[in-house]
Amino acid sequence: MRTLFIAGNWKMNKTAAEAVAFLSEIKDELNAIEGIDIAVCPPALAIPAVADLLKGSKIGIGAQNMYFEENGAYTGELAPNMLVPFCNYVILGHSERRQYFGETDEGVNKKIKAALAHGLTPIVCCGESLEQNQAGETHDFVSGQIKGAFANMTGAEATKCVIAYEPIWAIGTGLTATVEQAGGIIGNTVRATIKEIFGDDVAQKIRIQYGGSVSEKNSAELMAHPDIDGALVGGASLKAAFVDLIKNAQ
Ligand code: PGA
């Protein structure tokens, strides 16, 4: 049995002060939820304050990106060991990073390996565009992203990762993939590709989230699908309704 894992991706929202004020309101309620792994992924500058506030709680903390080198002349980047004191997770290869910041499958592959080497759990994102979806290219494209991201890795390493399937056309648009669409691609494409690379044992163990306009209204239905092991939540993780979203998933 895979434990559900719901993470909030705050993107470029909330200062450190706003993050602390928001989490102070909801942290007790989040802590009281049983049987689901929960994490928040604030902007980097808010992470230390959030880590301080959540000390001793079971709410995990994730970064939204990371570079794969240990240190050096990489202006604007953060190294794995800078995240380690504060974070359990790191989101890698989000579609917005691929779209605006030139993230590639090769780069994501290097970042996954660096994160694992430092004991961070990568949340590896994949997902197709509307054009690819309409052209019937979803399976081949997403499968290719998984093969690129997980190249030259062992099954033991892959098992430590979380994957988030996020169709780009469903991110921030209010257009959620139907349970059949999301569950179908997660099962028949994402999990099937992991099985093809690493075998059935890894495919059964690895957790695969759905992301894209998940809200308190649809989380119960989505999480009920046997192949959907949680959610990566953007907009709806910025409001107190994030608590209801998780309770409904439970
Ligand atoms: P959304 O974003 O929930 O606002 O659609 C999801 C994500 O991009 O992780």
| φ and ψ at residue 105, rounded to 5 degrees | -60, -35
User: What's the pTM?
Assistant: 0.97
Residues annotated as catalytic (active site), given as ranges: 94, 166
pLDDT of residue 89: 98
Burial zone of 190 (CB within 10 Å; 0-12 exposed, 13-18 middle, 19+ buried): buried
| φ and ψ at residue 209, rounded to 5 degrees | -90, 160
* Residues 6 or more apart in contact with residue 236 via CB below 8 angstroms: 214, 215, 216, 242, 245
| Nearest CA among 146, 160, 137 for reference residue 108 | 146
Helix 138-149, helix 105-117: angle, nearest 10: 40
pLDDT of residue 231: 98
**Residue in 5, 6, 9 to alter for ligand 1 test, most ligand atoms within 8 A of Cβ:** 9
Q: How far apart are CA 195 and CA 135, in angstroms?
A: 25
The position carrying tokens 């992924």 is 41
Q: Are 237 and 8 in contact (CB under 8 A)?
A: yes
Half-sphere exposure of 245 (CA within 13 A, CB side): 27
Q: Are 84 and 118 in contact (CB under 8 A)?
A: yes
Q: What is the DSSP pairing of strand 89-92 with strand 36-41? A: unpaired
What is the whole-number distance in angstroms between the Cα of residue 72 and the centre of ligand 1? 32
The ranges of the chain with pLDDT < 70 are: none
Atom of ligand 1 at shortest range from CA of 9: 9
Burial zone of 28 (CB within 10 Å; 0-12 exposed, 13-18 middle, 19+ buried): exposed
The position carrying tokens 């939540």 is 233
Helix 16-31, helix 241-249: angle, nearest 10: 30
Give domain limits for the chain: 4-249
4-249 sits in which CATH class? Answer: alpha beta
Looking at residue 226, its amino acid is P
**Residue in 97, 124, 232 to alter for ligand 1 test, most ligand atoms within 8 A of Cβ:** 232
Q: Are 103 and 67 in contact (CB under 8 A)?
A: no
Q: Tens digits of per-residue pLDDT, 106-115? A: 999 999 999 9
Measured at the CA of 171, the angle between CA 167 and CA 173, to 5 degrees, comes to 120
Query: How many helices, marked H, and strands, marked E, lie in the chain?
Result: 13, 8
pLDDT of residue 246: 98
pLDDT of residue 172: 87
Q: How far apart are CA 116 and CA 120, in angstroms?
A: 5
Atom of ligand 1 at shortest range from CA of 235: 4
